[in-house]
Structure 1
Amino acid sequence: MQKILIPTDFSENAWNAIDYAMQLFRNKRCTFYLLNTYTPVIPSSRFMAKMVDGVRIVDAVRETSERGLQKTVARIKSKYGNPNHTFETISSFNLLMEEVKDIVETLGIHLVVTGTKGASGVDEVFMGSNTVRIIKSTKKCPILAIPYNFEYVTPSEIAFATDFNRFYTTSELSPLLEMAKMFKATIRIVHVQYGIKALSELQQFNLNMLRRYLGDVEHYIHTVSELNSVSHTLEMFSKELDIHLLALLNYQHSYMEKMTREPIIKRTAFHTQIPLLVIPELGMEGISVEEEQEEEQKMESHH
């Protein structure tokens, strides 16, 4: 049973992410947790005497939040009515980022699905600041960011962008493998190079391990030279090969980190393109020695 968290502010952008998730997981048994956070404007201190009103403001905002969530669930059920799916609503007086982090930890969420705001010409924001905040603060769970106005396509072409400088653990790659297996997708491993040069021994080793992990999942390796920025390069690659989903690991010096730091001028319209699966860095923590030995035995028995 997958537990999936979807934050919503009741905008069309958020509905689009819900829509995508319902179609993506239509054949999977899931519990969806729909979350709406609110932080009412409390009158400033010189009005503190009217605290009664303050309480009433909070109540009114909470009711709006709860009603909005009920309406959203009703809308989903009338559109999809999928017996595989159950819904829980969470209305919380909290900051979105804090609440997402808490829920992921307390409920053991497997995936967070969020909409990303399409930027309006002037403020080229990479994926919308809320999404970036969630990605930066949610360390235990993959995040699937759905661009505003992206129409659902079954992801049969998945790109995984990496520079092979880091060793991946099976637990880190499992969200990618699950997606690929669920949709019998092809994985295209993309290595963005700044000037084409041979892989170092370490990179070659990590690539070989990655290929072993991918096992019988159909995969190809593409080396592309950087076009003025990582985000622009990945965007062009995704367009040319008609990629439906781009997966990235989020760790220090990763492409994901580079992209959130790239100067605005270099970040063209990357965030408006395709869904992004951001996988957190789990590293070796959370993996017991037994599991590692099992992994090694599995690897050996494959050879």
Structure 2
Amino acid sequence: MKNILLPTDFSENAWNAASYAVELFKNETCTFYVLNTYTPHIAHSRFMATNVSGDMMEDAARTQSEAGLANLISRMHTEFNNPQHRFTAVSSFSMLVDEVKAVIDEYAIDLVITGTKGASAIDEVFMGSNTVRIIKTVKKCPVLAVPQNFKFKTPDEVAFATDFNRFYTQSELRPLLDMAKTFNAVIRIVHVQQKITALTELQKFNLSMLRKYLKDVEHYVHTVSELNSISKTLEIFSNELDIHLLAMLHYQHSYMENLTREAVVKRIAFHTQIPLLVIPELGMSGSSHSKKEQSLSASE
């Protein structure tokens, strides 16, 4: 069983991401934890009556949050009605990112799926939205960011952007491998270079290990010249090869980190409308999912 976290603010953008999630896992047994956080605004004014209770405002916000979650889950059952899917509402008086981390720990979450806003949805991810805060903060499971207007397509063409400068562990690549095997997807490893040069010995070794991990998956290596920026290059690559999902590992000096630091002028051109799977740096510690498996096997 997969445990999927769906943060929501009850917008159409969040609904679209949740719809994508249930379509993505329509053939798998899943529990979806639908999370809404609320922090009621308490006005500070010398004209405000001193007996106005913050507790009353919190109660009203909680009621609104719980009602919104109930309506959303009811809509999920009505529109998708998948007997393999179970939904659990999580309403919390908390900051979103803090609660996302807490829920990941409490329910052994395997994947967070969230929406991105705006006409240039991926660009919005890199401009201080909740999504980028989640991406930067979550270290124990992948985050899948779904653009606002993206309608579900089976991800049978997946791009994995990397520079081969870092050794990958099998636990880090598990989300990519699972996706490829589930959807019989082709993995296109894309390496963006400012100037096409031969790989170093370290890069060659890391590439060979990557290919070893992907030995049971159809995959290809693409080396492409950087066009103005990494983001623009990946956008063009994704469009030309009809990529349905772009995956990256998030670690120091990675493409993902570089994308968040690119000049705004360069980022504006990054209008790709495909989901972005961000895999955190796990190292040898493994994912929460693998730890859960280890504890289960130890108890048997």
Q: What is the TM-score with the length of structure 2 in the denominator?
A: 0.91
The question of 1:235 aligning with 2:235 is answered: yes
Q: 1:227 to 1:264 in 2, by over 3 A?
A: same
Q: 1:125 to 1:180 in 2, by over 3 A?
A: closer
What is the aligned partner in structure 1 of residue 296 from structure 2? Answer: none
Q: What amino acid sits opposite 1:134 in the alignment? A: I
**Contact preservation (8 Å) 1:247, 1:278:** yes
Q: What amino acid sits opposite 1:32 in the alignment? A: F
Alignment of 1:1-303 (within 5 A): 1-44=1-44, 46=46, 47=48, 49-52=50-53, 54-119=54-119, 126=126, 129-270=129-270, 272-286=272-286
SS at the partner of 1:31? strand
- Structure 2 CA distance, aligned partners of 1:34 and 1:259? 29
- Structure 1 CA distance, aligned partners of 2:33 and 2:120? 29
What is the aligned partner in structure 1 of residue 295 from structure 2? Answer: none
Quote how far apart the aligned CAs of 1:113 are. 0.1
Q: What amino acid sits opposite 1:13 in the alignment? A: N
Q: 1:110 to 1:206 in 2, by over 3 A?
A: same
**Contact preservation (8 Å) 1:117, 1:127:** no
What is the aligned partner in structure 2 of residue 295 from structure 1? Answer: none
Deviations 1:153-198 (A, max 9, x none): 0000000000000000000000000000000000000000110000
- Structure 2 CA distance, aligned partners of 1:118 and 1:257? 21
SS at the partner of 1:167? coil
**Contact preservation (8 Å) 1:117, 1:128:** no
- Structure 1 CA distance, aligned partners of 2:127 and 2:183? 25
SS at the partner of 2:99? helix
5+ residue gaps, structure 1, are 292-303
Q: 1:208 to 1:125 in 2, by over 3 A?
A: closer
- Structure 2 CA distance, aligned partners of 1:273 and 1:187? 18
Quote how far apart the aligned CAs of 1:245 are. 0.1
Q: What amino acid sits opposite 1:147 in the alignment? A: P
Q: What amino acid sits opposite 1:49 in the alignment? A: T
Q: 1:152 to 1:286 in 2, by over 3 A?
A: closer
**Contact preservation (8 Å) 2:3, 2:33:** yes
Q: 1:120 to 1:202 in 2, by over 3 A?
A: closer
- Structure 1 CA distance, aligned partners of 2:106 and 2:124? 34
Q: 1:87 to 1:125 in 2, by over 3 A?
A: closer
SS at the partner of 1:270? coil
- Structure 2 CA distance, aligned partners of 1:286 and 1:157? 26
**Contact preservation (8 Å) 1:147, 1:274:** yes
- Structure 1 CA distance, aligned partners of 2:9 and 2:208? 43
How many residues end up aligned between the 2 structures? 286
Quote how far apart the aligned CAs of 1:57 are. 1.4
Q: 1:255 to 1:10 in 2, by over 3 A?
A: same
Quote how far apart the aligned CAs of 1:271 are. 5.3
- Structure 2 CA distance, aligned partners of 1:132 and 1:271? 16
**Contact preservation (8 Å) 2:120, 2:271:** no
**Contact preservation (8 Å) 1:147, 1:271:** no
SS at the partner of 2:283? coil
**Contact preservation (8 Å) 1:161, 1:255:** yes
Q: What is the TM-score with the length of structure 1 in the denominator?
A: 0.90
